[in-house]
Amino acid sequence: MPSGKFYLKEQTADPGTGDPSTGYGVLYCKSDGKVYFKNDDGDIYDLTYAQDEKVKADSGDPTAGYLADKVQNSIEVDTANHKLQLVGDSASPGANKYYGTDSAGDKGWYDLPSTTDEKVKADSGDPTAGYLEDKVDNATLEVDTTNHYLQVKDGGIGPSKIDSSGSYTMASLTTSGDISCGGDLSVTGNVECSGDVYAGDLVFKNGYRFTERGDALVLLDPDGNEVLFIDREGLRGAR
């Protein structure tokens, strides 16, 4: 075969009858961009390399296929544009959107919820979420529905909220009613009460104390000696 360049002339159709001669063939191309061979019997063969555009998902994939066969779940092929996309995807979904499912389970872009549920649970074992006003006992704690704060009910701790069996320490105590104490009452300052004071022993800062002796009220000195008696007969010194 002589050396040099060989050119194929583009044909608008297949070569006519009698071309090529007996024992020869002709190689040609057409305006469709393909290369053909025609033998002397008139048989025509398309010599253009058939490109298989199928793919495998990975090296272990036993079967090649088109991308449409290699996607699943939330990935699909846009058969109009021949591109991969999310199921239910949109080029411009708009602002404040999320990709997910709606109440019917359909995938796509949806509006973010306009409101949030601000209910809470009291603890990990609470079976039902609720607003804070549903999570207070309404005896000692309540919700200020004007300022939306938690607060102690009735503006503070009232007598009904104090455990009589407990022990409390406070800087001061002011009451317009009675003070009833089943045990000792120790106050470093003054005690002013417009009502009655009921107590066991009433102990003063200097060690003197009042205590009961039957129907009488007895004043004892710091050593425990009886100093004064107060009963129905009046006030008198120790006997």
Residue ranges per structural domain of the chain: 10-46, 54-90, 167-237
| Total count of residues recorded for the chain | 239
Percent of the chain whose predicted confidence (pLDDT) is above 70: 80
Q: Residue 80: pLDDT above 50? A: yes
Parallel, antiparallel, or unpaired: how do β-strands 44-46 and 35-38 relate?
Answer: antiparallel
Q: Do residues 160 and 167 lie in contact, with contact meaning Cβ atoms separated by under 8 Å?
A: no
**162 confidence band (pLDDT: 50, 70, 90):** low
- Please report where in the chains the tokens 């079967």 appear, as a residue: 63
Q: How much is the pLDDT for 145?
A: 83
DSSP alpha helices (H): ranges in 3-54?
none
> Vertex 52, ends 50 and 58: CA angle to 5°?
160
Q: Residue 2: pLDDT above 60? A: no
Whether the CA torsion 42, 47, 53, 55 is positive or negative: it is positive
**99 confidence band (pLDDT: 50, 70, 90):** very high
Q: Residue 168: pLDDT above 80? A: no
Q: How much is the pLDDT for 209?
A: 86
pTM of the model as a whole: 0.35
Lowest average pLDDT, out of 7-16, 96-105, 111-120, goes to 7-16
Q: Residue 18: pLDDT above 50? A: yes
- Residues 100 and 227: their CA atoms lie apart, in Å, by 88
Q: Indicate the average pLDDT of the chain.
A: 80
